[in-house]
Structure 1
């Protein structure tokens, strides 16, 4: 069965050929018809959507149950109920055939319930530990379930929760109250952002190494590396912007931000094509260029003309980026067909 991404690529190629008058209307209609989803495609999509929705509602129901009945439940009752839910989910996954969607949904629920169990333990026994430790332990507990599932979506939760743990750890180690305060108002946010950028790049490298050598364990697809790339792009942009917002421009930070963005753009253009990441890299690059130009103009006491110049530069860069993205997308769609 053809994947939806392959059908979209074929449709894009047909649309381009039709727009360039390389394909007649009747021939285009005949070639377009097989790319439309069939009844079996819709059934498969509906099964997966309802299964994901049901798993999410089950996990939300367990969380709301404990929150609503917290005072009425004994602590051992809480632990026993969560252990029963985890055991039931694990048993369901073990009884289902390998690769079964219901079994994988049960494993995903077990990943979430592991975090709920840690939260209940932390609320029951107040030890003064910080939240980053909860997220770090949750990440570790989610890994065995992801290994058992051998599916890419089960690695998304460890990626997200693990990066939240890193962000929270940086805020605590620098004596900052919150994660957003770390990025926007901390005195040592520069060092923390450098660390987070390096951590995201290392994660991206590890993902592709594991995809090469251990793809059967679920390290495949575009969503996992795309999540990491979005983080890396955001951190690279913030390194550059933070370097421009200081009293004296930090040339090293600005250079690191630009180099990281260029490296990400080159990788996702020539090695692993991803139009979403390329779009974000272009957006971040435009933001850095416009910010640097604005800093230069307004340090020289720019007047209304400076705002006009910045607007023109922004429009020009956005138009150039859009044209380039459209060209590379069409080129890649043509190669895939």
Structure 2
């Protein structure tokens, strides 16, 4: 296992993780290694010039175009590797699913277990210092195959009647290599599987440990859980914990949390009318808005988070305004007013976010 997974405190593994996430370039390995020795955060490394020939690129347009072409070639190669891993895993799953009646259950297990052994063999022979992207794609393939193995075991031996248990166990397995290998894609896979497990549990039983009895509580619990994961990853990035310094997974968790909470706000306004529920949603926006601005603007500048929460607040307020207008006698005028509010507020927020990006680039 030592040849497959990096050591916990390995700075070389930290450097490889940053390279996989695109936080640093490979033009100057010596300077990148110096950053790894200092244990800087990836977003801090990205703001620094790691390329020894950056000035020459600015002066030579031909070299700048070649550097840009190399950048996009590497990104497309990375995308091709991950899409290939996803396609291969899906191909194995669909093969024995399509031939389910024609294959003996031992043949099904042999097919999936053979693919798992091949993936483990590939992980063993891939050098983690030289090809972190290949190792990440193989781990993603292995994660898919383990999910297929769990589903096959449950279907053949009827080990679980509830589908949410499959995704819960699968998410627990995905968390182990995500923490050890420090891969954002495995973290994203864990987030998807955990959210599916929660939603399937709510759908099947209607409650979670006797805490949830309707869709509103379900949306609130899932949204708060994802937001807590986002804050935990933010804390890990500030403290320099490489296991939790995952920019892509951090953004994904924040997006899922914002989607659930905004959905909850719109649902409360549209379903409950202009009663206490709608007023509670507006009051929550008034109280939580300044807290979000303080955290994402003053304490830790995060333009993407400001945009997500800002447009989410616009969506909830637009639903509230629409409900208020449509209960009147002039629906056409209400449509015009709601449309003007959405266009005006979205434009103002876009201009503000653009100014924040310009200020951050000047720093």
Is TM-score (shorter-chain normalized) higher than 0.5?
A: yes
Cα deviations by residue, 1:233-252 (Å, 9 ceiling, x for unpaired) = 11221222122120424133
The residue aligned with 1:92 is 122
Pairing 1:255–2:277 present: no
Name 1:122's counterpart in structure 2: 154
Provide TM-score, normalisation by structure 2: 0.73
Specify the alignment match of 1:268 in structure 2: 296
Are residues 1:294 and 2:322 paired? Answer: yes
The answer to whether structure 1 residue 319 and structure 2 residue 347 are counterparts is: yes
Mapped partners of 2:190, 2:171: distance in 1: 5
Query: For the residues of structure 2 that align with 1:66 and 1:102, how far apart are their CA atoms?
Result: 26
**Cα contact 2:86–2:140 (8 A) shared by 1:** no
- Give the secondary structure class of the aligned counterpart of 1:215: coil
Aligned pair count? 307
TM-score for the superposition, normalised by structure 1:
0.78
Instruction: Tell me the residue number matched to 1:139.
Output: 171
Question: Which structure carries more relative contact order (alpha carbon 8 Å, separation 6+)?
Answer: 1
Aligned pair 1:330/2:358, yes or no? Answer: yes
Q: Which residue of 2 aligns with 1:104?
A: 136
Taking only aligned residues, the RMSD between alpha carbons, in angstroms, comes to 3.3
CA deviation after TM superposition for structure 1 residue 75, in Å? 1.3
Equivalent pair of 2:233/2:246 in contact (CA under 8 Å): no
d(CA) in 2 for partners of 1:72 and 1:209? 52
Contact 1:135 1:162 in 2 (8 A): yes
Listed as ranges, the gaps of 5+ residues in structure 1 are 11-27, 177-185
> Over residues 204-232 of structure 1, what are the superposed CA-to-partner deviations in whole Å (9 max), with x where a residue is unaligned?
12222333456333x32421111111112
Contact 2:85/2:138 (8 A) holds in 1: yes
Equivalent position to 2:222, from 196, 203, 211: 196
- Cα 1:270/1:81, change in 2 over 3 Å: farther
**Which of the numbers 72, 93, 96 marks the counterpart of 1:66?**
96
Determine the C-alpha separation between the residues in 2 that align with 1:329 and 1:64: 45
**C-alpha offsets along residues 32-88 of structure 1, whole Å, 9 cap, x if unaligned?**
776545254355334323322321221122112111221122212222222222122
Contact conserved, 1:240 with 1:255, CA < 8 A, in 2? no
Matched, 1:55 2:77: no
1:9, 1:333 within 8 Å by CA — same for their partners in 2? Answer: no
Pairing 1:83–2:113 present: yes
- Native 8 Å contact 2:266 2:319 kept in 1: yes
Asked if the contact 2:201–2:207 (Cα under 8 Å) also holds between the matched residues in 1, the reply is no
CA 1:304 to 1:58, structure 2 compared with 1: closer, same or farther past 3 Å?
closer
d(CA) in 1 for partners of 2:203, 2:284: 22
Deviation of the 1:140 alpha carbon: 0.8
Q: For 2:76 and 2:324, locate their aligned partners in 1 and report how far apart those are by CA, in whole Å.
A: 54
Runs (4+) of structure 1 exceeding 6 A deviation are: 3-6, 31-34
Identify the residue that residue 222 of structure 1 maps to in structure 2. Answer: 247
Structure 1 residues 253 and 293, CA, compared in 2 at 3 Å: closer, same or farther? closer
